[in-house]
Chains A and B, each alone.
Chain A
Amino acid sequence: EAGVTQFPSHSVIEKGQTVTLRCDPISGHDNLYWYRRVMGKEIKFLLHFVKESKQDESGMPNNRFLAERTGGTYSTLKVQPAELEDSGVYFCASSQLANTEAFFGQGTRLTVV
């Protein structure tokens, strides 16, 4: 069974540019989460999808971040325009049920210069 996959693994962009991160969850997992780790600190929650619906987006830092999950399959996280403080590792996770453990992807390392 394929795990959670994220693309790209690394991205380096200039301040003001746009970047789109993609996450393919484990097949059949309705719950999809985005997290990020900034500057070696704790991993922080961004948002949670149940199928194609946003269940909780309380962790999204500002309106420069837009997450979508059309059709309830893969998800994208777009940052537009990117700022220096957006640099970090963005993790995606999925779970079959909301109260079971989440399985994480390898993360996308975003560097904004």
Chain B
Amino acid sequence: AQSVAQPEDQVNVAEGNPLTVKCTYSVSGNPYLFWYVQYPNRGLQFLLKYITGDNLVKGSYGFEAEFNKSQTSFHLKKPSALVSDSALYFCAVRDRSARQLTFGSGTQLTVLP
């Protein structure tokens, strides 16, 4: 069975500071990993994915994530946070035999001006 943990319900960061949203996963075999973001009153929007290759994945809006196999982590990062990055972030995993995604419980990111 696959699972995802997002240990922080809420992350607050000052505008201009770097941000990290944490994600760890459990899956048999090699995973596909995803980050999605939900802005207020909007649907889930795809940010980035790791399938294979370079452990550092770059995505939309300046976000990136680093795949760490030994720590089974896929933390989302951004060097300089914007107030407009405030949203709900979901990490998701899929093993290579499954079709559906398994999501974490989400992390509310608030960037303070």
Which residues of A line the B interface, CB within 8 A?
3-4, 6, 31, 33, 35, 40-45, 48, 55-56, 59, 91, 93, 98-99, 101-107
Contacts and interface: CB of A to CB of B under 8 A. Distances in A.
Contacts of A40: 105-106
Given A101-B49, A104-B36, A4 B100 contact: no
B102 A104 contact: no
Interface string B47-81: 00100000000000000000000000000000000
28 contacts: A4-B43, A6-B43, A33-B99, A35-B101, A35-B103, A40-B106, A42-B4, A42-B103, A42-B106, A43-B44, A43-B103, A45-B102, A48-B100, A56-B100, A99-B32, A101-B46, A101-B49, A102-B101, A103-B46, A104-B43, A104-B44, A104-B45, A104-B46, A106-B41, A106-B42, A106-B43, A107-B43, A107-B44
Interface in B92-106: 92, 99-106
Given A4-B43, A104-B43, A44 B103 contact: yes
Interface residues of B, number: 21
B34 interface: yes
Nearest to B32: A99
Given A42-B4, A42-B106, A104-B36, A31 B43 contact: no
Contacts of B99: 31, 33, 48, 55-56, 98
Contacts of A105: 43
B109 to A, nearest CB: 15
Nearest to A3: B43
A1 to B, nearest CB: 14
Contacts of A41: 105
